[in-house]
Structure 1
Amino acid sequence: MSVSTSIDSGQEPALSATDYGLYGATVFAWGFSWIAMKGQVGIVAPEVSVFWRFVLAAAVMFGWSFFRRHNLRFGWRTHLRFAGLGALIFSTNFTFFYYGAQLLPSGLLAVVFSLTSVFNLFLAFALFRQKPSLATFAAGLIGFGGVALMFGPQIMGAEIDYQAALGLLLCTLGTISFCLGNMLSASTQKTGITVTPATTWGMFYGAVFLGIFATVRGNNFAVEWTFTYIGSLVYLAVVSSVIAFASYLSLLGRIGSARAGYATVIFPVIALAVSTVFEGYHWTGFAFAGLLLVLTGNVMMLKKR
C-alpha cells in the first residue's frame, strides 16, 4: 500500500499476520539491545564498537544477499541513497547513542529514542506533506507519555548538569538522524528497491564512514576480548542490526513511518522487563501507570480505523 494514499484518505488498513510478525521481531530484538549495549560501552571507543558491529552485520547481509541471489548492482544515484542510509541510520545514529550511553542512565536513553514515533509524524508532514490522523498523533503522544512515566524515577534522579545535558543532546540528535533515515528508507522503497539490498549497502557504507571517522580520530581498532563484549557485539550485529532492521524497514514500507515508528515506543517496555530480571528494576505506581498508557497508545495506533 502507499503511505501517502493511506494518510490522505484518512484510513489505515488493519495489520496483516506478516505485519504483526515483523512488528514483534523488531520490538523484541531492540528490546534486548539496551542490555547488550551496556557490554559495549567502556574501554573501546564508541565509534570503533559501532564500526565492528556493522562490519559484521554487513558481512552477514552480503552473505544472505548472495545466498538469496538478490541483485546488488545499482547505479551511482542509487548508491547515493544507500550512502545516505549508511550515514543516517547505520553510523551517526548509533555513534551518538553510544556516546550518550556514557553520560545518561539506560532508561533515559530508551525514553529519548522512543520519541521516534513522534518525530516520524512531524518529519513525514514536513518532508512529504503526509498529514497524520488525529488518532495516530494522539496515540504517539500517549505512548511517549507512558514511557516517560515508566522511567520517571530515573529521569527525576538524573542530575541535569553539563554532562547530562550533553548526553541528552547527543541522544536527541541520534534519534533525529534515525528518523531522517526512516524517511529516506521509505522514499527508497517507493522507487522499487527492496529492503535487503538497501540494508546491505547501507550497513556497508555505515561501516566505511565509521572506519574513516575512527581513523581520523586516531582510534585503536582493537576490541575487548571478553565474553561480555564479544557476546554483546554478536547480538547487536546479527539480531539487533540484521534481523531487527530488516524487519523494521520492511514494516516501514508496508504500514508507513508513523505506525512502524511506534515499535520504538514499545521496546522500552521489553527493556524494562529485562532490567527487572537482570538488574533488579523496582516497579512503582508510576511504572505501572506508564505501562497502561503505552498499551493504550498501542491499541489506538494499531487498530483498524
Structure 2
Amino acid sequence: MSDAAPPRSASAAVLVPFGIVTLIWGSTWIVIRDQLGVVPASWSVTYRFVIAGVTMLAWAAMRGDRFALDRRGWLFAAGLGLAQFCLNFNFVYRAELHITSGLVALMYALLIVPNAVLARVFLGQRMGGQLLVGSGIALCGVALLFLHEARVRPESGSEVLLGLGIALAGVFAASAANVMQATPTARAYPMVPVLGIAMLIGATIDAAYAGATVGAPVFDWRWSYVAGLFYLGIIASAVAFTLYFGLIRVIGPAKAAYNGVIVPVIAMLLSTLFEGYRWSLLAGAGAALALVGLVVALKARRPNR
C-alpha cells in the first residue's frame, strides 16, 4: 500500500470552498439578468464592487490585517482591479445584453484553457497527463452543452457573435487576474485587504467609464434589484472571490478554473427550478461529462515544474 499523501485538490480543505464557490457563482447568472435594464451595466458593476470592497475592508479591519501597501502592492491591486473587477465584469454584463446567460456561463467554462496556458508561460506550471485528460473530458461536456443551447435557441447572426466575442474578452481578463493571484507578489501581501482595495479601484474605474459613456449615476429601487446587488456584492464577490483566490494559491489557476465547468450545470439546475428549463439528452450528457472531467482533474497530482 502506498503511503503517498493524496493530492491537495482532493482534500476537504479544497473541496469544501470549491463547492461553495461553484454553488454561489452558479446562481449569479439569474441575478445578473435582473440587474440589466433600468441601470446601465457599468453602473451596476460599480455599485456591486463598492459594496464588495467596503465589505472586504471592514472584514480586514475586524481581522486586524495590515492595510499598508508599498508601491508594488498598489500596482498589483490596481492591475487586479482593472482586470478582474472592471474589464471582466463589464464584459460579462454586456455579453448578457446580446446572448442568453446560459451561453455566457458556458463561455466562462472555457477559462480552464487560458488559465492553464498562462500558468505554464508565467508560472512554469505544467498540467500533467491526468489533468489534460480531465480537461479534455470536461471540454467535450461543454461542447455538448453548447450544441444543446444552439438547438433550443437557434439564434444566429451578428448579435450572437458579438455577445460571444464580448464574453470571450471577459474570459481572458478573468484569466489574467487568476494567474496574478498565483504569483509570488500576491503571496507577499494579506489577501483580504488587497482584494478590498482592488475592488474599490475597479469600482472607481467602472464609475469613471460609466460617467464618460452613459452619463450620471442611475439606480433602480426595486427590491429585487437592491437585494440582488447586495447578494452579488457580498456573497458572490466578497465571500466567493476570497475563497476562489485562496484555492488558486493552493491548487493553481488551471485546477481552480474547473469551477467554471460546473457553474453552467448549477445554473441549468437552478433554471430548471425557477425558469422552467427543460433538459435534453445532449444537456444531460454534457453535464455528466463535465462532472467526470472535474473528478479526473481534481484527483490529478500537481506535476513538478
Q: Which residue of 1 aligns with 2:219?
A: 223
Secondary structure at the counterpart of residue 220 of structure 1: coil
Q: Which one of 102, 105, 108 corresponds to residue 113 of structure 1?
A: 108
The change in CA–CA distance for 1:83 and 1:190 in structure 2 (over 3 A counts) is closer
C-alpha separation between the residues in 2 aligned to 1:167 and 1:174?
A: 11
| Contact map agreement 2:66 2:190 (CA 8 A) in 1 | no
Q: Which residue of 1 aligns with 2:260?
A: 264
| Per-residue deviation, residues 171-201 of structure 1 (Å, max 9, x unmatched) | 0000100000011111156542232122111
1:297 Cα deviation from its structure 2 partner = 0.3
Alignment of 1:185-204 (within 5 A): 185-188=181-184, 191-204=187-200
Deviates more, 1:185-194 or 1:99-108: 185-194
C-alpha separation between the residues in 1 aligned to 2:187 and 2:97?
A: 39
Alignment of 1:156-235 (within 5 A): 156=151, 157-188=153-184, 191-235=187-231
Q: Which residue of 2 aligns with 1:145?
A: 140
Q: Which one of 83, 86, 90 corresponds to residue 85 of structure 2?
A: 90
Deviates more, 1:81-90 or 1:197-206: 197-206
| Per-residue deviation, residues 265-285 of structure 1 (Å, max 9, x unmatched) | 111111110000011111111
Deviates more, 1:64-73 or 1:152-161: 152-161
What are structure 1's unaligned runs of at least 5 residues? 1-10
| Contact map agreement 1:158 1:164 (CA 8 A) in 2 | no
* Aligned sequence identity (%): 33
1:153 Cα deviation from its structure 2 partner = 2.7
Q: Which residue of 2 aligns with 1:33?
A: 28
Q: State the number of aligned residues.
A: 295
Deviates more, 1:190-199 or 1:73-82: 190-199
Q: Which residue of 2 aligns with 1:133?
A: 128
| Contact map agreement 1:87 1:205 (CA 8 A) in 2 | yes
1:24 Cα deviation from its structure 2 partner = 1.2
What are structure 2's unaligned runs of at least 5 residues? 1-5
RMSD: 1.6
Q: TM-score, normalised by structure 2?
A: 0.92
Deviates more, 1:116-125 or 1:82-91: 116-125
C-alpha separation between the residues in 1 aligned to 2:262 and 2:148?
A: 19
Q: Tell me if 1:50 matches 2:60.
A: no
Secondary structure at the counterpart of residue 86 of structure 2: helix
C-alpha separation between the residues in 1 aligned to 2:21 and 2:8?
A: 20
C-alpha separation between the residues in 1 aligned to 2:133 and 2:38?
A: 42
Deviates more, 1:36-45 or 1:194-203: 194-203
The change in CA–CA distance for 1:145 and 1:198 in structure 2 (over 3 A counts) is farther
